[in-house]
Amino acid sequence: MSSSNPTAVATEFHPYGLPLGTVRGFLSVLICSFFWIVLLYPGEQTPHAPLAHFFLLTLVFMAFASHPLHEAQTSSFLPWLMRVIFLGGSAAVLGYVAYKSPEQVGIRLTPSVGEISQWPVLLGCLAGGFGIALFVRFIMGRKNEAFQTARAWLGILAILLLLFETLLQFVILPDLSDKPGPEAMKIWEGFLLATVAAYFGCRA
């Protein structure tokens, strides 16, 4: 007897059941908030933002600029709230610091000279993470269940890494007497950058 069940059609589910663009918006808030802390950090001895974070900012611009109009019209309030937070928060912090200490904006948003030589490696991590994830999505397809599961876990990992990076730079490292060497930090920043870029790549 032949089966009368229709052929199942695969469906794409957004990560964690959240509206489209919410996770990318939250990641963008985490990336921007790192610079807010850099700008608002009290005292003169402020930790410089690692060069990798300036590469992460390109992902924020991409997430903001690449949201299609037809998707924006049908998306819920939450993704737009994330946009308001990272755009409004950035404008507010920049405006406040520029008013209170105009010279500090340029000083605190200038990468360390010693890290400039790392830009080819960091660019490779950005392009590699984004490109590999984009290729995997192309091969497996957006609606593949295994891909959607891996994408959701990748989003969690990216969020946790960004949270840990903030704690590392502003809480853990300042109190360490034996700080990690430049090579160890370069590996860590490259891994962070590639992971976050990979999530943006699989959602592109």
For the segment 36-94, what is each residue's pLDDT rounded down to a tens digit?
999 998 866 666 789 999 999 999 888 776 654 444 444 567 777 877 888 888 899 99
Distance CA(16)–CA(149), nearest Å, equals: 10
Where b means 16+ CB within 10 Å and e means fewer, 182-196 reads: eeebbebbbebbbbb
Q: Angle, nearest 10°, between helix axes 77-100 and 22-40?
A: 10
Specify burial of residue 89 (Cβ count, 10 A radius: 0-12, 13-18, 19+).
Answer: middle
Return d(Cα 183, Cα 73) in angstroms, integer. Answer: 46
Rg (C-alpha) for the chain, rounded Å, is: 20
Q: What is the pLDDT of residues 164-190, one digit of tens each?
A: 999 999 989 888 888 888 889 999 999
Residue 80, class by beta-carbon neighbours within 10 Å (0-12 exposed, 13-18 middle, 19+ buried)?
A: middle
Q: Which of 55-69, 90-104, 105-119 has the lowest mean pLDDT?
A: 55-69
Q: What local confidence, expressed as pLDDT, does residue 134 receive?
A: 93
Write the pLDDT tens digit of every residue in 15-38.
666 777 788 888 999 999 999 999
> Model pTM?
0.84
Number of C-alpha atoms within 13 angstroms, CB side, residue 82?
Answer: 24
